[in-house]
């Protein structure tokens, strides 16, 4: 029997005529969205997308950021409606920043995360931010012609360097909600003045998928210690005859559950903090170093306890202390896992902080 071969050119022509394949487009004919903001609306949701500055051509200056807004019953409907607002094809595959308004946070963000997880162009790699005291739309348009994607990227990079609040992807938050039933999200607010269009504003705490409260100030610093990713901050201590400043460079917190029989009796936390001296009178004597260490341990313990007090009041273990402790007692944990929020709220908590100073 003779084999029949279909010429390659014929195959290419057949494939090009298939309606199921995407139509090729020039990059100049596409509006590449970088940032999406989602808000609650009376009819469903409002979606606002921004491209950031767009290039006219290789030798031309950029165009202002393109901002599109649509309100529909569903997130997918709003995204589809945005297509008709631009002369270019609106492409969602470059979205790497997702902002959620506070009102939507209080009704539940799970539908948004589900949509990002299922959509072929989006995905859960986008950085997730909660907009506090304003709508996500107001945050997106606050960047004006330059857009907000540059500011959000700066905050993300600063977080990776340890000089800003902990940034989180939509996937990380989604995984925490599925595994722990809670999560924390960095919060931003439009700036009232200054060059930065968006400023850090603590952390939003999600219980289930619903915003249940905020941690800010010392509570936010304590949450960073619990999560093991503190933003660099400086502590200044008064010593006899001088002031000494130390920069917190890292922190790691371990949790342990104690049981009496099958009943949990205590949650023990150990936090190891590393600090580097930045301003001091040389040389520092052993007594001065010891006093500095004690003072730093006291201050960081207060921060931890402030965060824990608020989290326990919310019945929300948003840093997964119980789940992490469960690795040492899986059988006991299985028996209390369902009721862990209630146990977390009333269990005695013992906190130990150890500071290691690098001279």
Q: What is the pLDDT of residues 78-94, one digit of tens each?
A: 999 998 887 778 889 99
pLDDT-derived band at 29, boundaries 50, 70, 90: low
User: Which of these ranges, 59-68, 332-341, 348-357, has the smallest mean pLDDT?
Assistant: 59-68
| Range picked from 223-237, 273-287, 317-331 for highest mean pLDDT | 317-331
Asked if residue 31 lies in contact with residue 90, where contact means CB atoms within 8 angstroms, the answer is yes
Give, in order, the Cα–Cα distances in Å from 70 to each of 86, 106, 107, 176: 12, 21, 19, 30
Report whether pLDDT(15) > 70: no
Which has the closest alpha carbon to 155: 189, 109, 110, 121?
189
Q: What is the pLDDT of residues 157-203, one digit of tens each?
A: 888 877 788 999 999 999 999 999 999 999 999 887 666 689 999 99
- The first and second tokens of residue 122, run together, are 């989006």
Pairing mode of beta strands 45-50, 89-91: unpaired
pLDDT-derived band at 62, boundaries 50, 70, 90: low
């Amino acid at each position: 029997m003779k084999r029949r071969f279909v010429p390659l050119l014929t195959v290419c022509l057949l494939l090009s005529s298939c309606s199921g394949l995407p139509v090729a487009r020039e990059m100049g004919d596409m509006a590449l969205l970088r940032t999406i903001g989602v808000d609650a609306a009376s009819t469903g949701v409002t979606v606002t997308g921004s491209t950031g500055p767009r290039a006219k051509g290789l030798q031309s200056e950029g165009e202002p950021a393109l901002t599109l807004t649509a309100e529909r019953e569903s997130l997918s409907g709003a995204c589809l409606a945005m297509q008709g607002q631009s002369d270019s094809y609106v492409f969602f595959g470059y979205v790497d920043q997702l902002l959620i308004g506070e009102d939507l946070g209080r009704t539940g963000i799970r539908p948004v995360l589900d949509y990002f997880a299922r959509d072929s162009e989006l995905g859960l790699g986008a950085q997730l931010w909660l907009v506090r005291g304003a709508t996500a739309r107001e945050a997106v348009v606050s960047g004006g012609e330059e857009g907000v994607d540059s500011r959000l990227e700066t905050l993300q990079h600063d977080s990776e360097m340890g000089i800003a609040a902990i940034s989180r992807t939509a996937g990380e938050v989604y995984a925490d909600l599925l595994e722990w039933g809670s999560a924390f999200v960095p919060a931003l607010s439009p700036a009232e003045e200054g060059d930065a269009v968006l400023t850090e504003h603590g952390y939003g705490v999600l219980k289930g998928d619903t915003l249940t409260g905020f941690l800010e100030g010392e509570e936010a610093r304590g949450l960073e210690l619990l999560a093991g990713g503190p933003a660099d901050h400086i502590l200044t201590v008064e010593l006899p005859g001088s002031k000494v400043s130390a920069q917190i460079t890292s922190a790691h917190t371990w949790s342990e559950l104690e049981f009496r029989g099958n009943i949990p009796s205590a949650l023990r936390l150990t936090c190891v903090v590393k600090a580097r001296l930045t301003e001091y009178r040389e040389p520092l004597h052993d007594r001065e170093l010891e006093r500095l260490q004690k003072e730093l341990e006291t201050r960081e313990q207060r921060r931890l306890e402030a965060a824990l007090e608020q989290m326990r009041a919310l019945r929300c273990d948003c840093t997964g202390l119980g789940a992490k402790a469960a690795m040492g007692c899986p059988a006991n944990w299985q028996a209390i896992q369902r009721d862990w929020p209630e146990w977390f709220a009333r269990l005695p908590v013992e906190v130990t902080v150890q500071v290691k100073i690098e001279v």
